[in-house]
A and B are shown apart, each in its own frame.
Chain A
Amino acid sequence: MQTHFSDLLVIGAGLAGERVACEAAQNGFTATCLSIVPARRSHSSAAQGGMQASLGNCAMGEGDNSDVHFIDTVKGSDWGCDQEVARLFADAAPIEMRRLAAWGVPWNRVVPGKSFYFKGGEKFEKYEKEEKEGLITARSFGGTAKWRTCYTSDGTGHAVMCTMDNRCAQLGINVFDKKEAISLIHDGDTCKGAVVRCLRTGRLEVFLAKATAICTGGFGRIYKATTNAVICDGGGHVIAHDTGVVPIGNPESIQFHPTGIVPTDILVTEGCRGDGGTLLDVNEERFMHIYEPEKAELASRDVVSRRMTEHMRAGKGVKSPYGEHLWLDIRHLGDKHISTKLREVDEICHHFLGVDPRTQLIPVRPTQHYTMAGIRTDKDGAVYGLKGLFSAGEAACWDMHGFNRLGGNSLAETVVAGGIIGAKIVEFLKGHETTFDTASINDAVNKQKKRIDDLVAGRCGHLNVYQVRNEMQEALMKGCFVFRNQKDLEETVQTLQGTLEKSRKVGLVSDGAGANFELGSALKLEGQVKLALCIAQAALQRTESRGSHNREDFPERNDQDWLNRTLAYWREGADMPELVYEDTTPLFELPPGDRGYGGGKIIPADAKYVKERTVKSPVTEIGKKK
């Protein structure tokens, strides 16, 4: 058995993972990263928009500061976030952007003078100041009071990923690609590393470490329709959750984006609608203005997704071999606008649909996009339940996003959280030694060997992995999508309980040799179904609507009963998750209030509860302003 040792093992080499590893390496610790794909192919690289940080350099960002960013983030979360964490994030973000600039990111910069921009289809003028020339500039994003999103063209995630991976190469960090952690090694108290399957040869290896960090991104792929890369399948969540002592935080908190293309669910940017694009139904007629007379297509993400779903339910969807959809129309924006401002959309339409958006309609529908849900950590990134285990980025529920995250906050979180949590890991490593018990390592490996042998030999059954996976994906689409209600959720839970049984009776069709994908899928299937059950059960229990969690039967945001976070444990041998709840946030800088968009009724929290936890802060006053 090939065995590797390092001070820090990072599972997942996207932006969060590599940033954590850099922090450890810069402080003299050895760090190893594992990735299913070469690091630069990580899903971080697919993020086009940018990173929110309140540098306030550009004209439309003037007067911005971390207080304003904090307020936007808390409101965006529908008061579902941990405000201590949101504060840490908002304060550190500008410094992190500058650090990335020093490391090599080619941020777009302020160009002084007059220029134009579009809002709601109308043209406006702005003037950039001479004294700000050459500083990091920003663009506009939804749900923000200022232009705050730092970017490099339409490839921010890609550019930052290149720089971070270069930094890892410079620091001599071992970044292994095509290695997948399939189990943690732990003794119920401390995490000691992972059992890893080599995706080149299929062989098992052991990676031991004093500290382990899971930075494997989201788990959108357990849904049928998602914008996520195929690697965002919850592998990291599965191995943490499987320990029985680590909870998933707010599993019901899943974001859906209105405009994924059909088929393939690749995202086309919100900019289409921002620049004046419209949504059409089967009769090629607009409909958003009927539901939302004021904002129409420019209502918030959760609202547009909700209305589109309603409209398709009313029989106005366009039927296709890939299911029902609606149309996005940007034809009227004209050739020049499409070839310059919406170049990416143009390319996506060309390559993936064979559609020319100048003359043809784009098939779109709401699709899973982001998991605010994740491995629950404290504000230091330390995972609940196991010492020596950390998590950062989309994989984690550090919880700055609560029940809805803002565009540009996810990509920023990867590097900001990576820096903060990386520093906490360094603190941990400085005072920590551990012992490795070869017998328990062998046990962990043998357990995985047996699972593999059983799957290959079909000892537990011969059910088809893809069919069982499909049943899980369809069940989530039915009960845990944009709208949720008691009846559908109960049915989904029931279906998934059956799927869980089936997932334990899967056997391979192929022989599982070498870089076999069927085996990889089969190994994580049971864990994925458990995640799906956590979503469904937590969504069933949460009898309110908050952010992206919309209960048709409970449309109010209920701060009185539900100002809390779900923690979903899966105890050993159990057939259902155990749900416990903790306070959403230990303190309020910004006491619960109206977001100022999205509408809906609020059942207020107990005044005494809020008052006791409210701290003096500059944002209490700023936050009152709409």
Chain B
Amino acid sequence: MDRQLTFEIFRYNPERKGETPHMQQYTLEEKPNMTLFIALNRLREEQDPSLVFDFCCRAGICGACAMVINGRPNLACQTKTKDLPDKITLHPLPTFKLIGDLSVDTGVWFREMYTRTESWIHTSKTFDPTKEEERMDNSVAEDIYELERCIECGCCVAACGTARLRSDFLGAAGLNRVARFVVDPRDERTDREYYEVIGNDEGIFGCMGLLACEDVCPKNLPLQNQLGFLRRKMGITALKDLFKKK
């Protein structure tokens, strides 16, 4: 009953002199409840210890193991082999810098995004440890959390048409980050200030509306709605500015 699975895996180690990118084939016997986490670790431990790929939580929570699985970005840890055909082709996420084989550098990309979006609460208040916390409506907290669920796996960026055309595009993950602070009443930034960050082609106006980001998001974030929300908000801000100048 066990299938023989064939893995076609992208291989390239930039630290090894003279190596060129290529595909390498492996075979493995499928077991019940097998995920790509189990399969890839077995390949590394039993067949080829030079294989480079990332896993961390292996529970779909941390976003470390995003890769292109049979042509589609997804989290490897929560992909079951029984949902895939006998032949499984694995590539690293495009757009991000390659570290080796299936591992890419999401860390640096996202830290740059934090800096560009100033991904923190902007407030003039200072914390007073002797005081009760500031009150917040529970539904507001839930709205913020809904956008905070992003695990920075990079699938949306890898699937994004604009990100493939221009490396400075913030991507759905970056724009969603801004939206997270827009809905947070603790952040005192104005629309005009957000416009400075995303009111351009590297930001919200770069989005071509292809919306692959929403299709591939493993956490099912409402990216389409957020992009629309920001686009309207920034469009209105731009119009207001236009009339102000006259």
| Chain A positions near chain B (C-beta within 8 angstroms) | 37-38, 40-43, 45-46, 95, 97-99, 101-104, 106-111, 133-137, 152-153, 155, 158-159, 162, 165-167, 169-170, 175, 177-178, 199-202, 229-231, 262-264, 266-267, 320-322, 347-348, 351-354, 465-466, 508-511, 513-518
Contact = CB atoms under 8 A, between A and B. Distances in A.
28 contacts: A38-B64, A45-B151, A99-B129, A101-B134, A101-B136, A102-B125, A102-B133, A109-B138, A134-B136, A135-B135, A158-B151, A169-B114, A170-B118, A175-B111, A178-B105, A199-B99, A201-B15, A202-B15, A229-B59, A231-B56, A321-B31, A322-B33, A348-B60, A466-B45, A508-B49, A509-B49, A516-B50, A518-B50
| Residue among B62, B80, B83, B151 with most chain A CB within 10 A | B62
A264 B149 contact: no
B88 interface: no
B37 interface: yes
Contacts of B46: 466
Contact of B121 (A103, A159, A175): A103
A45 B52 contact: no
Please give me the 9 A-B residue pairs with the lowest Cβ-Cβ distance, nearest first. A134-B135, A514-B15, A510-B50, A177-B107, A38-B107, A351-B78, A518-B49, A106-B144, A41-B62
Which secondary structure characterizes the binding site on chain B? Answer: loop
A238 B147 CA distance: 38
B14 interface: yes
A344 to B, nearest CB: 9
Contacts of B58: 229-230, 264, 266
B222 to A, nearest CB: 15
A264 B38 contact: yes
Contact of B52 (A37, A511, A516): A516
Contacts of A165: 114
B127 interface: yes
A170 B120 contact: yes
B148 A159 contact: yes
Interface string B63-107: 110000000000000101011000000000000000110010111
B129 A354 contact: no
B57 interface: yes
Given A43-B62, A515-B15, 8 more contacts: A45-B151, A46-B62, A101-B136, A102-B186, A104-B121, A106-B136, A263-B33, A513-B15
Contact of A152 (B13, B64, B123, B145): B145
A262 B110 CA distance: 33
A320 B57 contact: no
B20 interface: no
A45 B57 contact: yes
B48 interface: yes
Nearest to B103: A515
Contact of A264 (B37, B114, B125): B37
Interface magnitude class on chain B: 35 or more
A510 B56 contact: no
A177 B100 CA distance: 16
B56 A37 contact: yes
B16 interface: yes
A496 B68 CA distance: 40
A340 B134 CA distance: 29
A267 B82 CA distance: 22
Nearest to B186: A104
A514 B186 contact: no
Contacts of B16: 511, 513-514
Contacts of A95: 129
Contacts of B55: 230
Given A37-B62, A352-B78, A466-B45, A167 B125 contact: no
Which secondary structure characterizes the binding site on chain A? Answer: loop
A515 B37 contact: no
A518 B133 CA distance: 48
B152 A40 contact: yes
Nearest to A101: B133
Contacts of B134: 101-102
Contacts of A155: 145, 148-149
Contacts of A135: 132-133, 135
Nearest to A202: B15
Interface in B209-240: none
A80 to B, nearest CB: 29
Given A201-B15, A518-B49, A98 B148 contact: no
Nearest to B50: A510
A510 B63 contact: no
A109 B105 contact: no
B192 interface: no
Contacts of B149: 155, 158
B7 to A, nearest CB: 17
B103 to A, nearest CB: 6
A354 B141 contact: no
A167 B114 CA distance: 10
Nearest to B137: A134
A166 B119 contact: yes
Contacts of B59: 46, 229, 264, 266-267, 348, 352
Given A46-B61, A169-B111, A201-B15, A515 B145 contact: no
Nearest to B48: A510
B6 interface: no
B72 to A, nearest CB: 16
Contacts of A200: 99, 105
B85 to A, nearest CB: 16
Given A109-B136, A169-B119, A45 B62 contact: yes
Contact of B56 (A111, A229, A263, A513): A229
A267 B59 CA distance: 9
Nearest to A162: B148
B56 A230 contact: yes
B134 to A, nearest CB: 7
